[in-house]
Structure 1
């Protein structure tokens, strides 16, 4: 069996649905001209943007504002070697609208390292891709 027979390409809608099932992902951005990866709490806003919670005094907040980033989240099972992974590319901007900030705070979204006054970064998805790894013995039906 070809290894790729177990890999299913996901639709954008399915990718966004799966993102809504996990609270943490990894943002990939540039820091000091080098790639940086950091796990962050996030939430999928009703308008389709990803809201990322960062500490107010962090270099991450400064490094994300106004840049193009990648964001990846997954759920993998190391025993069955199954799961899914979603990758989002888009522009990240500091959330500045007071009502949107209040909504993010009410949702309970917070950085992993506590901060009573966090910042929120809004990531507008421009390219959303994902893959699911099916259990051994199951293959993707190709049309």
Structure 2
């Protein structure tokens, strides 16, 4: 990465620290052989896994259970031309253990669209990457006045 491109790579701990500051991210998965992106609210579990709570009958559950997915969250300040983006890639799995499900009912994310029968999906973080755009108005590598 070019030192003058305005971006800074985030290490794993910085990435996880950023994720806990935002309530919504996007799951990227395959649906009917095509890429699909779905915004979801989430929470990080104690082991850095991304947790999503959704309806047991949702298309999302059947599409991602057992699949490798990407999860992305970000924050952008358009006025300052700054922000960050974090991507977590890993296997998604339905939480099936009754004790774990009970724990997540107390500590996991709350659904923004409650359903009669909700389940938790855990994305195990096999890869966590991120980058931060350092503030400043630039165009073609030239600093512009604000």
TM-score (norm 1): 0.88
1:83 alignment partner, SS class: strand
CA RMSD of aligned residues (A): 1.7
CA distance in structure 2 between the aligned counterparts of 1:59 and 1:118, rounded to whole angstroms:
13
Following the alignment from structure 1 to structure 2, what is the Cα–Cα distance between the partners of residues 54 and 102?
15
TM-score by length of 2: 0.86
Structure 1, unaligned runs of 5 or more: 138-143
Partner of residue 113, structure 2: 113
Alpha-carbon distance, 1:60 to partner: 0.5
1:101 equivalenced with 2:97 (yes/no): no
Q: Distance in 2 between matches of 1:33 and 1:16?
A: 30
Residues of 2 paired with 1:87 and 1:24: CA distance?
Answer: 13
Gaps of 5+ in 2: 138-146
Structure 2 distance, partners of 1:130, 1:51, is 19
Paired residue total: 136
Cα deviation, 1:47-77, whole Å, max 9, x if unaligned, reads 1211112222111010010000000001111
- The structure having more radius of gyration, on CA atoms, is 2
8 Å Cα contact 2:25-2:42 kept in structure 1: yes
Q: Which residue of 1 aligns with 2:55?
A: 55
Q: Distance in 1 between matches of 2:116 and 2:82?
A: 37
